[in-house]
Each structure stands twice: as C-alpha cells, then as structure tokens.
Structure 1
Amino acid sequence: MLPELSPTLIRRRLTSLFPAHLIEGIARERDAVQRHRKIDITMLVWALILGFAVDGETRSIAAFQRVYQTATNQTVSRSSFYDRFTPQLRDLLSDLLAHALEEVAIPHTIAPQLSQFRDVMIADATVFRLHRLLTAFPATHEDQSGAQLYLVYNVTKRTLAQFSLTDERTHESSQFRTGNWLRGRLFLFDLGFYSYRRFALIHENNGYFVSRLKKNANPRIVGERRKWRGRAISLKGSHLQERLSKLKRKQIDVTGEFAFKRRRYGEKQSSATIEFRVVGVRNEDTDDYHFYVTNLPNEFTPEQVAALYSLRWKVELLFRELKSRYGLEKFETGDEAIAELLVTAALLTLVVSRALLAVFQEIDPDAEYPEERWATTLRSVAQLVLADLALALGHPPPNLPEIVRREARQPEKSRLTLNKQVAQAFSREVQP
C-alpha cells in the first residue's frame, strides 16, 4: 500500500531547508534588504528558485516579476522589482546555495562494492551563451559572450559538491583542485581533465580515478594483471599500440608506465614516471577496444571499470536538465551581476528539486524517480508550490480575476492594438 502523504509535505521540506529567518538574516548581512521594503525578500528568493521551474516562462526579470506577483497577490512596479536585482541579492543566493550543498543529500548505493569509497564523483563543465554585449564573459569566438559552468557532481549522494562560473575561454580542468579532500573518493573524468600529473596527485592523496585513455596514448606495458587461457600473446615489455592489431581477446588488463612533468617551481620542472592500470574492453560492434586508465585495484573487473565510467552520463543528464528544464541558456541580460545571480538561482532550483526528491525517496524507497521525469513534474507544479509557500508566509490567496486583468491588459495606453490603429486611421478627417 502506498503511504499517505500530507498536503504540507513539500512546504515543510522547503521551509526547513531555507527558513524565513535564515533568508532574512543573510539578506541583512549582505545588505540585500531595504528599510521600507515593499518586496518580501523571502518570497523574492522563492520566486527566483521556483520561477526557474515554472513551465513556459522565460528567464527574464519581467517573468520573475509575474511569478512573484501571482504568488503574493501583490502589485509591484517594474522599476521597484528591477532595482532588487543587485550584487547583494546575488551574494545572498550564493550563501544560500553554499548552505544547501551541505544540507541536501540522497544517499544512494549503486552497488555494494562502491561502499568502500567515501563518494563517487564526476567533474565536468558545460558552456552556454550569454548576451553578446556581456564582455565579462568572453567566448572563444569574437562578437559572442559565453559562460562555462564547472560542476563536481556527487553520484553517491545525488547532489552538487562544487561549482564555479567562468568565461568560456577558461579551461575546465583548471577548476579542479587537488588536496586532502580527494582521500577515499572515486572520480570519473572525461578527456577534458586528462592529465597524468593530475592522476598522480589523486593517487598520492589516496583517491581513485577512472578516465578514458587518449587514443594516441602508448604506454609501455610493465605487467599483466590477469592470466588468459591458451597461448595468449604477452604484452609485457611492449608498448600498448604495438600489438593491438593482433589481439582478439575480449579484455585487456595490464599495468602501463606513463611519463609526465611535475609542477614547475621557479625555472625548474622535473620529469617523472608512474604506473597505472590500463583496461580495455572490446566493442563487438566496432571491433575495437574502449580503453580506460585507472588506479582501481584488481577486484574491479574490466567490465566493472567500463560500467563505472558509464556513470559519467549522469552529469550530462544534469546539464541537460539545467538547460532544457530550467532555461540555463535563456538569459537575456547584459549585466554581469544579474547573469551570475540567475546562474546561482538555476543551481538553487536544481538543489531544491533534489531536496524534494530525497523526501519522496525516503517515504517510498522502492520506487524509482528518474531525475528528468522528476524535473518535468516539478515544472508542472512549481507555481502551485510557490502559492502554497506564500500562504504559509502570510500572503493572501491570489485574486485570480485581478491577476488576469493585471497581466493581460496593455500596460501602456499609448501603445495601440492593431484594431485601434486601423480605427484611428478611418476616424481622421480626409484633408482636401
């Protein structure tokens, strides 16, 4: 039997994640509130977060104003609303996002063998277009602006671990920081983060990694990690590319030696070598191998290494959710602070979505909630959720006829509809 759900379930989770006193306290610290406030800062924050999820809305300030006014049954002048989109509001949202990253987690065991890692994490980045006059975010092509959103996604807890926003020209791998935080964690990388020095630093910090092997990589094989039946061709002592054409086995599992350069200190930069595991799994359709480089122990079979790497698709789905569901590529502002504010709001929408997902997953642990299906559902109910929050925060229920009249009528009397323009033309006296 399905558990009975309380109508206040969603509201309770949201207000526990971002209580009004927390939002108001940070807003005062960040000077994001006004002495005589006409706009409720708590509802403004929620209008930004849930406004990204509202189905059919653009990501303009005017759209957020409509969302806010509909939820609060309050008419706010356009200039008053626009004036609230400041660097201080951006900083408030950034603080709330940092708070949420510590609070939101959906513990999820993919396979029992992965419990030996503190977390399984994916580092990746995506590029999206901004207003072409936003020069603070130069793109790789002239006359364009582009931002790059770098994320570290925690697959184990199904939430964000780190993020940063840079211009498109900044290389994504420069945002990945090494150090003690790597200990006990498994990282999955695409080729944008391919670096033997980075892999060595992860290994030296007692972390783990899996990456695709570059096609032109040709490490010297210093050892076989598995025994094969029959008269198997030995790879030890050769370079990887030398004997591939002669191999028919379904898997390759060897230790390769890789040369790399250490970090430069002053004018000196030393060279080093390190041994990593190289795994190959034959693709029967293309009749070639998919190769991976890793420091995972032998207990993980080649098939399991390849399956682990396929988890990288999770972050691609995450970027698709941000772009297709929450409109990450639909910003129309030329203001740097507002662009950063909107990106932060989009990430807050994602985190809030995951916080609600955690509630339903806890209530109904045997059910599956695919992230994109979940995001689509959230979009369909976002305005209702916001209205429920507004009622809880003391705003009156919406006056639907007044909302329709306010939003649908022509805001400027000087702008004539086509019918009136034609009528006006016929009403003029014809000059002889």
Structure 2
Amino acid sequence: MRRLTTLFPSEFLEEHAEELGVVERDRKLQIPAFIWAFVFGFAAGESRTLAGFRRSYNSTADESISPGGFYQRLTPTLAEYLRDLVEHGLDEVAVPDAVDADINRFRDVIIADGTVLRLHEFLSEKYEARHEEQAGAKLHLLHNATDQTIERIDVTDEKTHDSTLFKTGSWLENRLVLFDLAYFKYRRFARIDENGGYFVSRLKQNANPVITAELREWRGRAIPLEGKQLREVLDDLSRTYIDVEVEVEFKRGPYNGTRSLDTKRFRVVGVRNEDADDYHLYVTNLSREEFFPADLAQIYRCRWEVELLFRELKTQYDLDEFDTSNEDVVKILLYAALLSLLVSRELLELVTEQAGDEIVFPPERWAATFRSHAQLILHELGEYLGYSPPPLLERLIEDAQKIHQQRPILQETLATATQPRCES
C-alpha cells in the first residue's frame, strides 16, 4: 500500500482538491477515498457505473455519501482535477515496453497516435463524429518510448484531425518521431528536419514522389530507378529492399497571406512483404549510413507499444463504451480509466521487483489479474489509510434500499396492475 500512497499521497490529493475547489469547507467528502474509489472502481468491471463508484466510496470512507451528494460532485472541476492527477502520475510511472531496436542514438523516441471513443448520441453536438447520428471523442497521445512515459494527452471530438495537435518546434531536436498515416504531411516532415529532429512514417498510398538517386547498388541487370516516379516502378521490382532518395513538393505555411511552394529531399525505404507480394514503404530523414532498411522496419514496430495501450484501455477497461449523455461524466470516466491504467502499471512494477527473474507477466494477463483483485486492493488500501467504514450490514441496508420514495419499484407496480378490478 505504501507504493500507491507514495504515487498519490493523501496530503497531495487533499491540497490540490482544495486549490481547484473540488471540496467544500465542511470536508464531508474524503478526497483520498473518493479518488481511490474511482481508480479501483473503474478497474473492477462490475462497478463501472456511477452507482458502483458511490458504493466503492461508501465501502471505503468513514462516512457514506448519498446519491445526490455524490452526483453533484461530478463537475467540470472534478474532470480537471482528475486530468491533473493523470499528468502527475505520468511523470511518476513508467509504462513497460518491448522495444528491442537500437534507439540509444536519439535523445527520445516519440510515438504519436490517437484512438476513437464512441459516446452517447446525445453528445453529438459537443463531440461531433464522422458519421451522422453518432457522437465520438478522440484520445490523442504522445508516448515517449525511451522514458516509458506519456508526454501529452489531448481529448477532442472525433472530427478533429490527429495532425492538428502535433506542433513542431525546437523541442524536436535529436528526437525521433514515429507517425502513422494520420500525421502524414511533407511540410511537417520538413519542419522536423529543420528543427534537428528525425522521423519515420509509412508512405501514403497516393504519394508518388520522384526518385532522385538510388542509395544501394544492385548487381546484374537491375532496373534503373533514378528520374522515375516511385509508383511507376513498384510492380516491376522483386528485390528484397528498396532504398532511394526522393524529391517531394509541398506548400509552406502562410506568410503575408500567401503560401509558397517548396521542395525537399527525403529517403524512402521499402521492405518486401512476400505474403502480400508488395512493399511496406517508409519515408524518413534517417541516413543509410546509420540505418539500413531492416533497421527502419524494426524501429517502426515500436509504434506497437501505443497500440497495445489503446487495446488494453478498450478491451480491459471498456474505454470505448460510455453510456452517459453527460459531457463532464465522460471526461471523468476517461481520466479514471487512465488513472486505473497508471496504478496497474505501478503495481506491475512492484510485482516484477518481488518476483523471480524467470517469471514473465504478459500485459493482458496482468490487466485481468489487476481487475479481479481491484476491490480487495481498495479494501486493504482503505484500512492502510486509517478509514473505518460502517459495518457491512449497515452498508448493505443503505445501498439496497429504495432511494426515491415517490417512485414505485417494479414489484409494487406489477402488484397494483394485477389487483382484481371487481373491488372498484
């Protein structure tokens, strides 16, 4: 338990809650119990409802909170507070990886990616989706594969393009960025190069640059490529690798109301996929002297790390199923999911330290194990923090009773409907 309370000390949770105005002066709400109830309540699948979160809190804190008192806490300020906790946790927790490519040459390797979260259709005006009569949010991440942290999180509507959130600048110096096709833009690649950074991206299907030079010599009667457009020669090639320099044309950013045309030379590498009888094509500014085509393909596989993060959030935490029409609750649940993931990773690191060197913990198996023990961990954490919740029987009576006296329960409604009409 000490590991978790070091990650999020109770004093820090309380002080920051007061700074933002999450708690009131009466201090009836016990913030540490409230936060941990969200973290472990979200991890436990059966508690992933607002009523479930309240029950998790009431089973942990010294004093219970009513449904009305709980729901009125679900505000934009609470969403902001949880986001701050996520950013704090990201600075403290390393996300395990499986990178075996040689990336020590760079200051950092950054992976940019995003994933779509499907929301209640009533939120379609705020979270506009690509298709009508739907609502969708998009979670954008900048994942640092070198430090094993997430450097930036953004939440937008589904229509916001991933590339608009990636800003170039001096921060890119000596950093390698791995892009998927959502970020493909020659101007962006040029700006990264001009800021002393590096990039590797898949080449778009409709991209057809002119080959200016071959970077590898081929024996025998190899097809000459210089001066030809890339797509014109692909079908005629059977070599294992393609390694060429290309020239691309793009528009610079607006200046005095106009956008000038410019050209830049990059490197395009192709690695043959025998199963599909075609090439995986990459565009980069990394030199052949340091990175052969097979090296680039291996480095690009680092992107699989962030895909695994998204997969875990969606499969283990059902992050893409938000059954609420409240915008603030969507953000609260999103940040609660990320906090659960961070706490899970922190406990995995602790378990790995305590286990033998020969023991391996597959990520998905660990996630399922963490979820199944979440309520037990929350119970022990509450005891560690010194909380004395009411007796179990009292909690059962409080949680199971009918809340709205004016609202008949189903059995009452059926009994009334089936009474003999002869009495009237």
Output the TM-score relative to the length of structure 1.
0.89
Give the Cα separation in 2 of the matches to 1:423 and 1:165: 48
Does 1:128 find its partner at 2:117? yes
Q: Residue 295 of structure 2 corresponds to which residue in structure 1?
A: 304
Q: CA contact under 8 A between 1:259 and 1:274: conserved in structure 2? A: yes
User: What is the SS of the residue equivalent to 1:116?
Assistant: coil
Give the Cα separation in 1 of the matches to 2:354 and 2:99: 19
Q: CA contact under 8 A between 1:391 and 1:397: conserved in structure 2? A: no
Query: CA separation of 1:73/1:80 partners in 2, compared to 1, >3 Å: closer, same or farther?
Result: same
- Cα distance, 1:431 vs structure 2: 3.3
- Cα distance, 1:369 vs structure 2: 2.9
Q: Residue 13 of structure 1 corresponds to which residue in structure 2?
A: 3
Match of 1:354 among 345, 365, 370: 345
Give the Cα separation in 2 of the matches to 1:98 and 1:387: 26
Q: CA contact under 8 A between 2:57 and 2:64: conserved in structure 1? A: no
Q: Residue 344 of structure 1 corresponds to which residue in structure 2?
A: 335
Match of 2:154 among 164, 178, 199: 164
Alpha-carbon RMSD: 2.4
Superposed CA offset, 1:12-47 (max 9, x none): 121111100101110110011112132211111111
Does 1:212 find its partner at 2:202? yes
Match of 1:30 among 16, 20, 23: 20
Give the Cα separation in 1 of the matches to 2:95 and 2:317: 21
Q: Residue 117 of structure 1 corresponds to which residue in structure 2?
A: 106
Give the Cα separation in 1 of the matches to 2:133 and 2:414: 41
Superposed CA offset, 1:348-376 (max 9, x none): 22222222223334445654333222221
Q: Residue 195 of structure 1 corresponds to which residue in structure 2?
A: 185
Superposed CA offset, 1:94-130 (max 9, x none): 2212222222225767336211122222211111122
Q: CA contact under 8 A between 1:48 and 1:64: conserved in structure 2? A: yes
Give the Cα separation in 1 of the matches to 2:94 and 2:59: 31
Match of 2:90 among 84, 101, 125: 101
Superposed CA offset, 1:321-358 (max 9, x none): 11222232232333322322222222222222222223
Query: CA separation of 1:416/1:170 partners in 2, compared to 1, >3 Å: closer, same or farther?
Result: closer
Identity %, equivalent residues:
48
Q: How many residues align?
A: 420
Superposed CA offset, 1:133-178 (max 9, x none): 2232222233332211111122233332211011112111101111
Q: Residue 316 of structure 2 corresponds to which residue in structure 1?
A: 325
The one-letter amino acid paired with 2:384 is: A
The one-letter amino acid paired with 1:238 is: K
The one-letter amino acid paired with 1:85 is: L
Q: CA contact under 8 A between 1:107 and 1:156: conserved in structure 2? A: no
Q: CA contact under 8 A between 1:122 and 1:187: conserved in structure 2? A: yes
Match of 2:280 among 282, 290, 295: 290
Match of 2:380 among 388, 397, 401: 388
Q: CA contact under 8 A between 1:252 and 1:281: conserved in structure 2? A: yes
Output the TM-score relative to the length of structure 2.
0.91
Query: CA separation of 1:337/1:107 partners in 2, compared to 1, >3 Å: closer, same or farther?
Result: closer
Give the Cα separation in 2 of the matches to 1:327 and 1:109: 24
Query: CA separation of 1:107/1:85 partners in 2, compared to 1, >3 Å: closer, same or farther?
Result: closer
Give the Cα separation in 1 of the matches to 2:12 and 2:75: 19
The one-letter amino acid paired with 1:294 is: T
- Cα distance, 1:303 vs structure 2: 1.8
Q: Specify every segment of 5 or more residues in structure 2 that has no aligned partner in the other structure, as ranges.
A: none
Does 1:272 find its partner at 2:262? yes
Q: Specify every segment of 5 or more residues in structure 1 that has no aligned partner in the other structure, as ranges.
A: 1-10
Q: CA contact under 8 A between 1:121 and 1:154: conserved in structure 2? A: yes
